[in-house]
Amino acid sequence: MTASQTPTTAEELRGAGLRVTAARVALLETVRDGDHLGVEAIASGVRDRVGHISLQAVYEALHALTAAGLVRRIEPAGNSARFEGRVGDNHHHVVCRSCGAVADVDCAAGEAPCLTASDDHGFSVDEAEVIYWGQCPDCSTATSS
């Protein structure tokens, strides 16, 4: 018996039905190494790995990877979109109103949707999008002094 091997990034792309390109591999690795990165930061991470890539190509690859469920996109109101590699666990986010810092918050209730709608209007609800808003430690220190 051999220990089950973690699939490589390329194998994960293939498994999700995506064509494997160096840019997509680099993009997925950049998103996973990062912490809720925006598009510009992802583009520069991809360029560090594979050289020049247009912003348009980054958008297209992000779209494909998000649609395939390998990348999760969050877009807190008033902030630009962020991307992360932690998918499928229904975790939530806490966002700083002042600087836009984002951190993960594990779901307290477990499975999605973790909040039961008081009236679902007959919809079959599969997700509750929860964002906790507040001030990050840095910003709350700055305002209280």
Task: Show binding-site residues for Zn(2+).
Answer: 96, 99, 136, 139
**Number of Cβ atoms within 10 Å of the Cβ of 62:** 21
Nearest distance from residue 118's CB to Zn ion, in Å?
26
Q: Could you say which DSSP state residue 17 is in?
A: T
Of 104 and 127, which has the nearer Cβ to Zn ion? Answer: 104
76 binds Zn ion (CB under 5 A): no
**Number of Cβ atoms within 10 Å of the Cβ of 42:** 24
For 68, phi and psi rounded to 5 degrees? -80, -5
Binding site residue list: 96, 99, 111, 136, 139
Of 34 and 113, which has the nearer Cβ to Zn ion? Answer: 34
Residues 16 to 75 in contact with Zn ion, rule: CB under 5 A: none
Q: Could you say which DSSP state residue 65 is in?
A: H
Helix (H, G, I), strand (E, B) or coil at 5: coil
Nearest distance from residue 76's CB to Zn ion, in Å?
11
Binding site residue list for Fe cation: 111
| Among positions 10, 101, 114, 128, the unique one binding Zn ion when judged by CB under 5 A | 101
Picking from 123, 103, 125, the residue whose alpha carbon sits closest to that of residue 112 is: 125
